[in-house]
Amino acid sequence: MGGKYRITGNTYPRMRRPRHRRKLVLSVTAAVVALGLAGWGTLQVIDVFTGGDGQANAAARPKACPTTSASTSAKVLPKPAVIKVNIYNATPRSGLAKAAAAELKKRGFAIGKVDNAPAAYDKKVPGTGMLLGGPKAMNGSFPVLATQLPGATQKTDTRKTADIDLIIGTKFKAFSTPAAAATALTALTAPSPAPSSC
């Protein structure tokens, strides 16, 4: 060859293929990404089986629990002496309302009217009894009187007065014993435990 490409001496130029640097760079990049993904996946699997550091640290940290005073969580219910009860007999047995009134009076309740049940309820109360009163009685007088007669149904009407009616039903046999009623009343007024896992 002559001119610019003239060969001198005993050394001949070696013809090489052009290097594929782009393929090499892509291969190295792909390998690094694959290794990174494999390492990340391994860490995730380890976290799943060991619970992870975040959960362990959270379990080790003590939780701050809200404190509630007993006075705010305890129910305040009226005393039997301030609950005026009208007693009506809805059964065929005579004298039942009078006997029930005498028993409740001994237990501290104020007694109002004592009579046979009105036609709307006469012989139409199939259970032990029914408590009937204004809307406020549902969370006040009803629970207190219900400790004397478990299983009595509770129903509200539109009256504005604080008195409540006890309509004796056909399955009525007797009131709870004073001890059982006192235990039930104590359970009602006791503060409920806080719904927390602390």
Considering only CA atoms, give the Rg of the chain: 43
9/47 Cα distance (integer angstroms): 69
CA distance 178 to 114: 22
User: What pLDDT, on a 0 to 100 scale, did the predictor assign at position 103?
Assistant: 96
Q: What is the pLDDT of residue 30?
A: 80
| Mean predicted confidence (pLDDT) in 88-104 | 96
Per DSSP, 91 falls in state S
- Per-residue pLDDT, 34: 78
Nearest alpha-carbon partner for 175 in 118, 129, 131, 132: 129
Mean pLDDT of the chain: 81
Count of other CB atoms within 10 angstroms of residue 76: 7
Determine the pLDDT at residue 2.
Answer: 53
**Residue, of 143 and 6, whose pLDDT is higher:** 143
pTM of the full structure: 0.61
pLDDT in tens, 125-144: 999 999 999 999 999 999 99
